Amino acid sequence: MLVPARGSRILLVEDNQVNQRLAARMLKKRGHDADVAENGFEALKMLSLKTYDLILMDCQMPEMDGYEATARIRGMDGSRRHTPIIAMTANAMTGDREKTLAAGMDDYVTKPVKVEELSAALARWLRKTSC
């Protein structure tokens, strides 16, 4: 089983406070540092101040949703950097995964987020370190 690198800096973009607390707790238990943004605008501001190893992005948020935020982040990344973005969405219908990938996100987990599913997604996108 792949284990994601501990100590990664993750930006959690989620408007629901219960989901924020649950996801942040999951990340902390796995040894990661997580900052929380409540919408896409706040995420962009935080990204202008700090570099993150990975972004967990809710798709449906007020003010600026995850799709628009992802498009703007991809514009900020440029050719030298690609910040992995994992969609977190309650949408689990046929075509939803493809929609997130087409929007520039790298992976997809459904809500409510399952520990195993989140851990697997993190392992795919964060560098593995020796234990």
Strands 33-37 and 9-13: parallel
- 81 or 114, which is more confident: 114
Query: What is the predicted pLDDT for the residue at 2?
Result: 47
Q: Is the pLDDT of residue 88 over 90?
A: yes
- For the stretch 111-120, contacts whose Cβ atoms lie closer than 8 Å and that sit 24 or more positions apart, written own/partner, are 111/19, 112/22, 113/19, 113/22, 113/23, 113/26, 113/88, 115/26, 118/23, 118/26, 119/4, 119/30, 120/2
pLDDT tens digit string along 12-56? 999 999 999 999 999 999 999 999 999 999 999 999 999 999 999
Residue pair 3/131 in contact (Cβ under 8 Å)? The answer is yes
Please tell me whether residue 14 adopts helix, strand or coil conformation: coil
Q: Which whole number is the average pLDDT over 47-76?
A: 94
Query: What is the predicted pLDDT for the residue at 129?
Result: 40
pLDDT band of 90, cuts 50, 70, 90: confident
Query: CB neighbours (10 Å) of residue 6?
Result: 12
Q: Which whole number is the average pLDDT over 108-126?
A: 91
Residue pair 110/117 in contact (Cβ under 8 Å)? The answer is yes
DSSP sequence for 27-55: HHHTT-EEEEESSHHHHHHHHHH---SEE
pLDDT band of 77, cuts 50, 70, 90: confident
pTM of the model: 0.89
Q: Is the pLDDT of residue 91 over 90?
A: no
Domains of the chain: 9-125 (3.40.50.2300)
